[in-house]
Amino acid sequence: MKFLSILLGLSVLIFCASPVEAKRRVFIPGRRGVVIDERLSALRAQPDLKASLEQRLRRGRRVGILGAVRKKDGTTFLRVAISRNTRGWILADAIARPGSAADVNRLIKLMEETSDDFIRVRLVRLFLEEFREPGFAPRALLLLGQTAEQVAERLSRDTRRRIGNDTENGKLRRKYYFLNFAGLDRYNRINIKFDYDEESDSLVYDGTAYRELIRKYPRSAQAIMLKERIQYERK
């Protein structure tokens, strides 16, 4: 992979992000929390694992924490609001609270340990959007970039299998196939973008997370490591 070409212009350290229209937030009472684990995010009528299921909350859903109850077996449920009028109970392990060091550490651990690249990317984006703890942000940005590079390698293999050795109309047509591969769609929706490298005939991550890492946290251990990698590949 042409890592140096991905980060061409990094020395200038200008990060240009397209403007994103802010989402209108609906008022939700209670202390802010965010769903981080969909496997545990069943909203129930009562604080009991066998209570009626009201709905399943998606990862990234904002809730208002109204209270908590700890069961005899050690299980903790949170009473949450998901709108002005809708309440329910959810396992505390499904929720993270901005400002809580324990919850931030739990989210970091979750995103580093998951084996699913897309879920990891979603968790990192969730962390950067909702938590953005300065002590962890460089680590999260580096993880995002590394994961996106792994995704690019896997999707490149998938694309080659799909289109074979078709070279009709030359390299330009091949680029079209790569950048329109269906496997890119869900990453595109969460603003993870890829380019096509003609020399290696593969997709490459566009390096956005790396540029942000060096621009915003130039003295972090992660940024220093990344700069050393760039210098090595320039030789």
Closest CA to 4 of 157, 177, 210, 222: 210
Residue 80 in tokens:
């949450």
Residue 223 has which token pair? 């940024």
End-to-end CA distance of the chain: 15
- In the chain, list all ranges with CATH 2.30.30.40: 31-96
- Quickly count: other Cβ atoms within 10 Å of residue 203's Cβ: 26
pLDDT of amino acid 7: 52
Q: Pick the more confident residue, 131 or 54.
A: 54
* pLDDT confidence bin for 146, thresholds 50/70/90: very high
- The whole-model pTM stands at 0.77
As a whole number, mean pLDDT of residues 57-77 equals 94
179 pLDDT higher than 80: yes
Contact at 8 Å (CB) between 80 and 87? yes
* Alpha carbons within 13 A on the beta-carbon side of 177: 22
Query: Residue 8 carries which side chain, given as an amino acid letter?
Result: L
pLDDT bucket at 85, cuts 50 / 70 / 90: confident
Question: How many other C-beta atoms can be found within 10 angstroms of the C-beta atom of residue 10?
Answer: 18
Q: What integer pLDDT is reported at residue 130 of this predicted model?
A: 86
Return the CATH superfamily for domain 31-96.
SH3 Domains (2.30.30.40)
The average pLDDT across 194-217 equals 95
